Each structure stands twice: as structure tokens, then as C-alpha cells.
Structure 1
């Protein structure tokens, strides 16, 4: 369990701490997948751009007088097969990561909204209810998780 969650005062019970811990884990998972998706997306764009530029410089410009020659030169070089496989594969991997990112974001957002909705049940007593904002501030400051509003 996170140290800052363990250090919460006695107004926060063990169940609430476990929920907050799960929320932090889901946030970290979402951030990790989001970072991977962005990396693979930019890698795909950059590799695709440089490959298109290479095709233009080495095949399109020198052999532009005949499409048949351009096509036969393109087919003759095995580098083109590997480059296309790499670009198509990274594009597919980017889409898989996008789906995982969307799923992780949905799970994170649902748990965050559940904690917000159940705040009255988690901090039942009057003194606990008045001190819950300390927990919300700590979550916002330490983990960048907003528990004040349901909107993203």
C-alpha cells in the first residue's frame, strides 16, 4: 500500500484505503498504457514518414518515367517488404494499445466515480465527512486524481 495512503488519519477506514489504493493502481496502469500508445503512435508516424521519403527519393524520382519500372524496382528490393511489415505491424500494435488505453481509462474513471458517489458511505460520521477534503487534496497533490468532481 502507498505510504501516503497508509498515513491517512483515523477518519479514513481500511476499506476506503483499499479503494484509494486500487484507484492509484488503475491510474498508474492507465498512465503507463497511455505513454506506450503515444510512443508507438509517434514511432509509426516517424518511420512511415521516413519510409515514404526514402521511396520518393530512391524509387519515385529516378524511375518516374515508367510506372512498370517503378513497380518492378519496388518489388525487387526486399527492404520494402520488411519496411512495410514494420509499418503495418506498428500501426496494428498502435490500435491494440489504443483499445487497451480506452479500457484502462474506463476502468479508472468508473472507480473514481464510484468513490465520489459513495463518499457519504465511506465517511459516515460527521467528523469524518468534514475531514474527507484532506484525503481529496492528498490524492490530487500526490497522484493527480481529482475526487472533487466526476468530470474528467
Structure 2
């Protein structure tokens, strides 16, 4: 369990601390997939651009007089096939990571909203209810998790 969550001894009970720990874990999972998706997306964009620039310089420009000669030159160079397969594979990986990112975001957002909805049950006593803002501020400051509002 995170040390800052462990330090909430008098402000929360054990179940609430576990819920806060789970929302931190899901936030980290979401951030991990978000970063991976972003890196693969930009790698796909840049490599696609350079691949098409390479095709333009080596095939389209010198053989622009005939489509048949462009096509036969493209097919005769086996490296073009490998580049194309690699870029299509990156595109597929990008889509796979996008789906995982969206799933992780839904899980994170659902648990965050559940904590917000159950906040009256989690901090039942009046002194706990008045001090819950310190828990919310700690979560916002340490983990960038907003527990004040359900909207992202």
C-alpha cells in the first residue's frame, strides 16, 4: 500500500484505504497504456511518413512515366514488403493499445466515480466528513486523482 494512503489512519477505515489504493493502481495502469499508445502512435505516423517519402524518392519519381514500371519496381524490391508489413503491424499494435487504454480508463473512471458516490458511506461520522477534503487533496496532489467531481 502507498505510504501516503497508509498515513490516513484516523481519517479513513481499512476498506476506504483499500479503495483508494485500487484507484491509484488503476490510474497508473491507465497512464501506462496512455503513454505506450502515444509512443506507438507517433512512431507509426513518423515511420509511415518516411516510408512514403522513401517510396516517392526511389520509385515514384524515377519511374513516374509508367504505372506498370512503378509497380514492377515496387514488387521487385523485397525490402518494400518488409517495410509495409512492419508499418501495418505498428498500426495494429497502435489500435490494440488504444483499446487497452480505453478499457483501463473505463475501469479507473468507474472506481473513481464509485468512491465519489459512496463518499457519504465511507465518511459516516461528522468529523470524518469534515476532514475528507484532506484525503481528497492528498489524492489530487500525490496521484492527480480528482475525487471532488465525477466529470473528468
Structure 2 CA distance for aligned equivalents of residues 126 and 71 of structure 1: 76
Q: How does 1:62-141 map to 2 (within 5 A)?
A: 62-141=62-141
Structure 1 CA distance for aligned equivalents of residues 11 and 22 of structure 2: 19
Partner of 2:10: 10
| RMSD of aligned alpha carbons | 0.5
Q: How does 1:36-75 map to 2 (within 5 A)?
A: 36-75=36-75
- Contact persistence 2:11–2:135 (CA under 8 A): no
Structure 2 CA distance for aligned equivalents of residues 49 and 150 of structure 1: 40
1:94-143 CA distance string (max 9 Å, x none): 00101000000000000000000000000000000000000000000000
- Contact persistence 2:112–2:150 (CA under 8 A): yes
Structure 2 CA distance for aligned equivalents of residues 31 and 2 of structure 1: 17
State the number of aligned residues.
152
Given the alignment of the two structures, is residue 27 of structure 1 paired with residue 6 of structure 2, yes or no?
no
Task: Give the CA deviation at 1:62.
Answer: 0.3
- Contact persistence 2:26–2:108 (CA under 8 A): yes
Task: Give the CA deviation at 1:9.
Answer: 3.6
Q: Return the TM-score normalized by structure 2.
A: 0.99
Runs of 4+ in 1 over 3 A off after TM superposition: none
Specify every segment of 5 or more residues in structure 2 that has no aligned partner in the other structure, as ranges: none
